[in-house]
């Protein structure tokens, strides 16, 4: 290994990982314990958990079933951990990750309460020079951001926002000690997947809750349930089959098998099929209904209409029900389908007001609330559930520069571009775990992370084993992968939606489809073939 370094005070490590969520923890385990490398991990929080550390807002819960949303790499770990609910709440997942960190003795190599300030590739030494907000410097051969796809807050800007004198919260950075809303007038901006979890819980506590909705959502019930120990044991008895089915699936969870075209069934058959999936809960309706739901507008509308009917049945006031129904033309499932528990019934409560800010926009904030074009709303506390600058936000915050001092922001000025979601041209030895243009968020995240971490560890073993200095995506490979990702996405209805998959939720962010939609199974075959072909599409030196 090249130990040259222009900054003698730097700590020399083989790899520097940023983040200690699912991705950072497993990457650290593989590189340190399987490859025997010297690894430093930097984490801004005071503990492990990543997204499950920060998102401890009321109602936070995973919408992938617990036995799937967990690591598969250790059979012992799989058997030891007991899940208490079909869909685990945030605190249980956080406890699980703390247990993982303890079991594999990971925390001793994680520096908590510390942020990466900059990461620059030094061409003279072929090493990454990384600085932190604590003034430390690292020199690392490999730089591995494991910063999550949804970790950089999107807080919209409003006129006189700072004049509001009450308490302000962002769901993705919730106070560790929790918040007591008892007796408070609370407002929330946003009605995405997060807000749909928060709203029913806050409504139960607050004196009054005002929901500012810009776009209604097609949410479907989660159908969570408590798991008995016997049920947990039964699932674990079949873990091998369960995992194999997941790896061989489109989304990393074996959802119900899709039927053919929605338009080939009669209305009666369709409704029966939708009802069954609705009762099944979670993403069954989204991922498991008909093959053309996300491809054909007429097929899509049949399911959109099914959900509108459900909303109208559940919301007593017809006017409020209509406000909550996404209008015709707003396609179903092209934004991620939120999963809900009692969300629509929340609007039957006397202490909840729904405000349509598409019709009457937010004009300005005041010291006691905010004013829309219609009226002034007063509240004591405000919750932003306004989403994230997905994929790129957290990477850009680290001031990453590649060959020739090129900032990652400049390389991605027209939108994020990678080869396989793992590597960007001009940024040698940098690997993005679940990066842009990988299946990431449309595959069961812990398995998507395992897939990437194992590929990266194998790649590093290959490079080190051959005494090579660098591996780097070729610019043409990046072009081709971007084109392939786009082509697959363009065949679907997804790019038309103003979703964070497209970067469309952030004003000014270039619109590029950020997820590989060919399915995790197909993607895995592609990256494995690239590795088997001596890392075809990469330049090795
Ligand atoms: O964020 P979002 P999220 N003025 O971007 C509104 C994951 N997740 O945090 O739709 C007014 O989806 C915005 O309105 P509009 C999951 O992958 C997982 O809810 O842009 N409103 C929308 O209503 C999910 O997809 C779990 O018109 C503004 C909301 O804010 C992802 O996180 C649970 C606004 C943002 O919705 C993000 O979900 C929860 C403005 N200027 C979330 N700007 C699990 O269970 C934005 N909004 C694992």
**CATH number, residue 401:** 3.50.50.60
Token pair, residue 170, equals 């962002």
The pLDDT value recorded for residue 240 is 96
Q: How sure is the predictor about 469, in pLDDT bands with cuts at 50, 70 and 90?
A: very high
Q: How sure is the predictor about 453, in pLDDT bands with cuts at 50, 70 and 90?
A: very high
The pLDDT value recorded for residue 256 is 87
Q: How sure is the predictor about 9, in pLDDT bands with cuts at 50, 70 and 90?
A: confident
My answer on whether 401 and 343 are in the same domain is no
My answer on whether 207 and 336 are in the same domain is yes
pLDDT above 80: residue 6: no
Interacting residues of 505 by C-beta distance below 8 A, sequence separation 6+: 154, 387, 390, 498, 499
As a whole number, mean pLDDT of residues 108-133 equals 98
Instruction: Among 384, 406, 421, give the residue marking a domain's end.
Output: 384
Mark residue 421 as left, alpha or beta (left: phi above 0; alpha: psi -120 to 50; beta: remaining): left
Kindly list the protein residues whose Cβ atom lies closer than 6 A to any atom of ligand 1: 61-63, 150, 156, 189-195, 197, 214-215, 336, 357, 385-388, 441, 500, 505
My answer on whether 379 and 396 are in the same domain is no
CA atoms within 13 A on the CB side of 95: 10
With 0.95 as the threshold, say if the pTM is over it. Answer: yes
The pLDDT value recorded for residue 1 is 38
Cα 172 to ligand 1 centroid, rounded to whole Å: 11
Confirm whether 287 is domain-assigned: no
Nearest CA to ligand 1 atom 36: 192
Q: How far is 495 from 514, CA to CA, in rounded Å?
A: 10
Residue 493 three-state SS: coil
Pocket probe for ligand 1: among 331, 387, 390, 504, the residue whose CB has the most ligand atoms within 8 Å is 387
Q: How sure is the predictor about 278, in pLDDT bands with cuts at 50, 70 and 90?
A: very high
Confirm whether 277 is domain-assigned: no
Confirm whether 455 is domain-assigned: yes
Cα 414 to ligand 1 centroid, rounded to whole Å: 23
- pLDDT tens by residue, 205-248: 999 999 999 999 999 999 999 999 999 999 999 999 999 999 99
CA atoms within 13 A on the CB side of 346: 26
**What phi and psi values does residue 61 have, to the nearest 5 degrees?**
-160, 150
Q: How sure is the predictor about 63, in pLDDT bands with cuts at 50, 70 and 90?
A: very high
Please state the domain count of the chain: 2
Q: Which atom of ligand 1 is nearest to the CA of 384?
A: 30
pLDDT above 80: residue 7: no
My answer on whether 509 and 421 are in the same domain is yes
My answer on whether 201 and 336 are in the same domain is yes
Residue-averaged pLDDT of the chain: 97
What is the dihedral sign for C-alpha 371, 375, 376, 377?
negative
How many other C-beta atoms can be found within 10 angstroms of the C-beta atom of residue 232? Answer: 17
pLDDT above 90: residue 89: yes
Residue 209, beta-bridge partner list:
186, 352
Provide the residue range defining the domain that includes 178.
161-254+293-384
Token pair, residue 207, equals 């004196």
My answer on whether 379 and 470 are in the same domain is no
Cα 385 to ligand 1 centroid, rounded to whole Å: 6
DSSP string, 239-293: HHHHHHHHHTSSSSS-PPPPBS-GGGS-HHHHHHHHHHHHHH-TTHHHHHSBTTT
Tokens 């497993």 correspond to what residue?
A: 26
Cα 499 to ligand 1 centroid, rounded to whole Å: 9
My answer on whether 352 and 370 are in the same domain is yes
The pLDDT value recorded for residue 540 is 98
Confirm whether 366 is domain-assigned: yes
My answer on whether 424 and 362 are in the same domain is no
My answer on whether 235 and 312 are in the same domain is yes
Nearest CA to ligand 1 atom 13: 190
Cα 429 to ligand 1 centroid, rounded to whole Å: 33
Helices (H) then strands (E): counts for the chain: 17, 19
Token pair, residue 291, equals 């093959």
My answer on whether 70 and 97 are in the same domain is yes
My answer on whether 440 and 327 are in the same domain is no
My answer on whether 321 and 370 are in the same domain is yes
- pLDDT tens by residue, 413-445: 999 999 999 999 999 999 999 999 999 999 999
Cα 383 to ligand 1 centroid, rounded to whole Å: 12
Instruction: Among 384, 402, 417, give the residue marking a domain's end.
Output: 384
As a whole number, mean pLDDT of residues 319-325 equals 98
């Amino acid at each position: 290994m090249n130990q040259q370094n222009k900054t003698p005070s730097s700590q020399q490590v083989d790899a520097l990982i940023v983040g200690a969520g699912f991705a950072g923890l497993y990457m650290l385990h593989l590189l340190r314990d399987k490859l025997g490398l010297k690894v430093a991990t930097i984490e801004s929080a005071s503990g492990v958990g990543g997204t499950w550390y920060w998102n401890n807002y009321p109602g936070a819960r995973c919408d992938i079933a617990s036995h799937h949303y967990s690591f598969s790499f250790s059979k012992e770990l799989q058997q030891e951990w007991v899940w208490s609910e079909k869909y685990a709440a945030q605190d249980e997942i956080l406890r699980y990750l703390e247990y993982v960190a303890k079991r594999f003795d990971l925390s001793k190599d994680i520096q908590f309460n510390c942020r990466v300030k900059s990461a620059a590739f030094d061409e003279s030494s072929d090493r990454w020079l990384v600085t932190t907000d604590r003034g430390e410097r690292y020199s690392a051969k490999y730089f591995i951001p494991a910063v999550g796809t949804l970790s950089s807050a999107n807080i919209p800007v409003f006129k006189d926002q700072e004049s509001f004198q009450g308490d302000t919260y962002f769901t993705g950075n919730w106070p560790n000690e929790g918040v007591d809303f008892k007796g408070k007038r609370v407002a929330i901006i946003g009605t995405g997947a997060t807000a749909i979890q928060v709203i029913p819980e806050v409504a139960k506590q607050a004196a009054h809750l005002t929901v500012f909705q810009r776009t209604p959502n097609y949410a479907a019930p989660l159908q969570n349930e408590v798991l008995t120990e016997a049920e947990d044991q039964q699932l674990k008895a079949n873990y091998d089959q369960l995992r194999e089915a997941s790896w061989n699936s489109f989304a990393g969870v074996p959802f119900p098998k899709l039927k053919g075209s929605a338009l080939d069934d009669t209305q009666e058959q369709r409704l029966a099929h939708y009802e069954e999936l609705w009762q099944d809960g979670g993403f069954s309706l989204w991922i498991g209904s008909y093959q053309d739901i996300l491809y054909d507008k007429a097929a899509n509308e049949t399911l959109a209409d099914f959900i509108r009917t459900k909303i109208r049945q559940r919301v007593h006031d017809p006017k409020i029900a209509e406000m909550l129904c996404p209008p015709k033309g707003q396609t179903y499932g092209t934004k991620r389908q939120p999963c809900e528990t009692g969300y629509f019934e929340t609007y039957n409560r006397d202490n909840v007001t729904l405000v349509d800010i598409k019709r009457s926009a937010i004009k300005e904030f005041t010291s006691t609330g905010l004013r829309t074009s219609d009226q002034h709303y007063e509240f004591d506390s405000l919750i932003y559930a306004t989403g994230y600058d997905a994929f790129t936000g957290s990477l850009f915050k680290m001031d990453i520069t590649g060959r020739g001092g090129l900032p990652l922001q400049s390389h991605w000025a027209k939108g994020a571009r990678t080869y396989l979601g793992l590597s960007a041209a001009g940024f040698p030895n940098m690997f993005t775990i679940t990066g842009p243009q990988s299946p990431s968020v449309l595959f069961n995240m812990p398995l998507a992370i395992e897939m990437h971490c194992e590929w990266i560890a194998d790649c590093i073993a290959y490079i080190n084993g051959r005494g090579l200095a660098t591996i780097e995506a070729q610019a043409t490979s990046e072009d081709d992968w971007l084109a392939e990702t786009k082509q697959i996405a363009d065949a679907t209805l997804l790019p038309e939606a103003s979703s964070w998959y497209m970067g469309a939720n952030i004003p000014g962010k270039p619109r590029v489809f950020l997820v590989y939609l060919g399915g995790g199974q197909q993607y895995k075959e592609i990256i494995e073939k690239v590795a088997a072909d001596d890392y075809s599409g990469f330049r090795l030196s």
